[in-house]
Amino acid sequence: MSDHEINKTRSFIKMLAPTANFDSVLSFYYDETNNIRKSYVGEMGFNSPVTANFVLGGLVHEGMAPDVAPLIKSFKLQKTTKEVKFKHIAKGSFLDCLKSNKLKLFLEFIESSNLYVHYSSINILYWAIVDIVDSAIANSEASQKLGPPFSEYLKDVLYKLSKLEIDSITEVFYYFKYPNIKKKDVSSFIEALTHIFKDYIDTEEFHFGLESLRQILKEAKKTNSLPFIMEGDDYIIEDFSEFYLRQIYLFKYSTHTFDNENSISRILNGYKILDKSIEIKNYSFVDSQTNQLIQLSDVFVGLMGKLTVYFNTSTKEKIDNDFCSLSMIQRANIDLLVDVIEKSHNKNIGFLHSIDGNEERSKMDVISQPLKTTQNIDL
């Protein structure tokens, strides 16, 4: 990546998130969950459950790192345990994980120390469909004038429909080798996609969004062009290396320590990341057994992965009902998680990055009034 590309992208993100501080000198530690390497569509559907977000994140601090040995000792793990993993701290569904006293110790430590949390959370299904909306809007001057809120609304509507009609959506994707639609197939792809709308387009929930998208896609048919889904590889939605790269060049004055991930390491080694003609060498891959902060990053990321599955598979009404019957330890842990995320948001909004629909994001409001003012950078 050239210095022009890096600084252009950083400037664009800074414009979208003017209160974020990407220039601090920080130490980031990473682990990931639900890392499927590449997201692709096969004959039987997506290569992984679309209910689980890919989450890359962990712990971050400024200055000296706190001594986490007392925390790890407090977990009272078996002496044969070589490193702390999320499975040692909590197990089961998200709500089951909240029953863990070890999780409470972990979250209390983060809350009271100079450690913060950071994450990139990628909803795979939402990520797969957003380029359809962007491609349609690229063909419509009227839609472009309505700005990002209109675009985000259409993406959310298409995402909700895709959840309900996941088999039909993936069948269309596979048939047309999405996201590499051939020019001769644009019209047929649009017809197949909008055919899925028919059972929903007259409902109150979906009517305005689906009808708007259907009309915009009609304009795309006239040009035989859906620009953002015509130049990819057959079936391959994308790999996740871009989210590792994003952290490296966005927080270019910080250091980034990743858990060993050979496939990602090979990809990153293929890039020469330049800033003012100087190569950026601010990251490393290490064995997690040698780094306790990476081990604790696995705990946080594991919990966030469970949370995304819970949100992606639960209605707001179900979440509300679930949270009315939490035990004391569950309530304490969810409050601590909310406090830790809010503490990190207040420190630097740039720590929180999400590619997800408003439908899923808004579920955090159900479990936490304070987080109604918390934002995630969506880029």
Domain locations along the chain: 3-122+241-373, 125-229
Can you tell me the distance from the alpha carbon of 127 to that of 40, in angstroms, rounded to the nearest whole number?
A: 12
User: Cα–Cα distances in Å, from 39 out to 153, 247, 356?
Assistant: 24, 20, 16
In the block, tokens 């009808």 appear at 211
Query: How high does pLDDT run on average in the chain?
Result: 89
Q: How does residue 298 score in pLDDT terms, banded at 50, 70 and 90?
A: very high
Residue 5 has pLDDT above 80, yes or no: no
Helix (H) or strand (E) holding 10: helix 3-16
Can you tell me the distance from the alpha carbon of 292 to that of 106, in angstroms, rounded to the nearest whole number?
A: 13
pLDDT digits (tens, 9 = 90+) for 200-215: 999 999 999 999 999 9
Can you tell me the distance from the alpha carbon of 374 to that of 369, in angstroms, rounded to the nearest whole number?
A: 10
pLDDT digits (tens, 9 = 90+) for 55-81: 999 999 999 999 999 999 999 999 899
Which tokens hold the place of 328? 């004391």
The whole-number pLDDT of residue 268 equals: 86
